[in-house]
Chains A and B, each alone.
Chain A
Amino acid sequence: MNNCSGKPPAAAFSLFEVIVALGVFAISVLGLAMALDSSVQAALEARERAFARMQLDSRLSACLADPPVSGRRVIEARDNQGVRIEETLIPYEVKTTNNLVVTGLWKLKILADWGDQKKETAEIVLYKP
């Protein structure tokens, strides 16, 4: 600021005010960037989840045609585009109202795991006498 006219000095922003204003602006820009990043991450996660669900449906079909007769079958993530699949087949006991056990029923459970806490499961009861 120029103060050579002999009049009282004109008021201007102090350095502190300028720094506070720039800080507020930087925080708001940072907030916008973080919101943008989180929305992109959410969309990517939704895409991965949809893909994992398609894998579950596909494995369910595969198991109906070729069930894991040994009781457990695992497809590692490196062999399956980053989605680990675990299929289990266990006997499933059902009793009738006459307390008779219905035999030949199996519970097929498929777990798709594609990262930390990112899991989807599907279950179905099969009749294989």
Chain B
Amino acid sequence: MRAKIPASGGGRAFTLLEVILALGILAMLSGAVYSIASAATEATRATLDQQAAVRRLGSFVRVTRDAFLNLPREGRIQLRITRSQSGAPVPEIVFEEAAGVFGIPSLGGGSLVLAARPRADGSRTMSILRVPRGVQGAELERLAAGGGWVPLLPRVERVKWTFLTNGEWREEWPEGAGRPSAVRLQMDYLDLPGKMVDSQFWIPPLTAVAPAPPKPTPP
């Protein structure tokens, strides 16, 4: 509201009704601006969270894909189901003789375990554990119960591994089963609601190496 106030002391001023009306309009405008600003902040935060979740998932899938893709000739994998302290089944992929997986240059004759470990909130975290050579039995259980796990992807659920061999998907892949053609990972990622992660990883087949021709004997 604007009013020309005369220079004289007894000039005209705003009435109480005008001031209240002006304050009301100001309050409404401030409320509208605040609503928009808070909605923008919330939307930005949700957007950043989603982008971070997509990046985390993409990175996890990429390193897992590289692990299978670069599985060396002598590398072996197996699916092992263990039990958590609460008794929940924990699917574990065990990489053996697999140098270079998950950014680890060498396992030194040991193995690397990729497991969906239970969390306190009921979800699971895809984590890796490096197991030194010769560690097994009770010593392995102590190691697994310790804090050596490296978390890769938190907040996943219903993790399922399957293995393709001879055109057929199998839910078991015990030790000594050989080298599957592909591995499939299905799981729910809680930070991307409504989307089920379904990724397939190709494992290059081994080709028979022809024996080297005999060296010609010098005459």
Judge whether A58 is part of the interface by a CB distance below 8 angstroms: yes
Partner of B47, one of A5, A25, A39, A50: A39
A36:B4 contact, CB within 8 angstroms = no
Contact residue range for chain A? 20 to 34
Partner of A81, one of B18, B57, B196: B196
- From DSSP, what is the main secondary structure of chain A's interface residues? helix
By a CB distance below 8 angstroms, the chain A residues around B199 are 54, 57-58, 61
Q: Mark A52-89, 1 if CB is under 8 A from B, else 0.
A: 00110111111011100000000000000100000000
Judge whether A12 is part of the interface by a CB distance below 8 angstroms: yes
Judge whether B187 is part of the interface by a CB distance below 8 angstroms: no
The B150-166 residues at the A interface (CB cut-off 8 A) are 164
A-binding segment of B32-40, B71-79, B95-103, B139-147: B32-40
Judge whether A29 is part of the interface by a CB distance below 8 angstroms: yes
Q: Name which residue of chain A comes closest to B57, CB basis.
A: A54
**A interface list, Cβ under 8 A from B:** 1-2, 5, 7, 10-13, 25, 29, 32-33, 36, 39-40, 43-44, 46-47, 50-51, 54-55, 57-62, 64-66, 81
**B interface list, Cβ under 8 A from A:** 1-6, 12, 15, 18, 29, 32-33, 36, 39-40, 43-44, 47, 50-51, 54, 57-58, 61, 65, 164, 167, 181-182, 192, 195-203
> Could you list some 12 contacts between A and B, CB below 8 A?
A1-B3, A2-B12, A11-B3, A13-B2, A29-B32, A36-B40, A40-B47, A54-B58, A58-B198, A58-B199, A62-B202, A66-B164
Q: Give the 8 A-B CB pairs with smallest separation, nearest first.
A: A65-B182, A61-B202, A43-B47, A65-B181, A64-B202, A62-B200, A61-B200, A10-B3
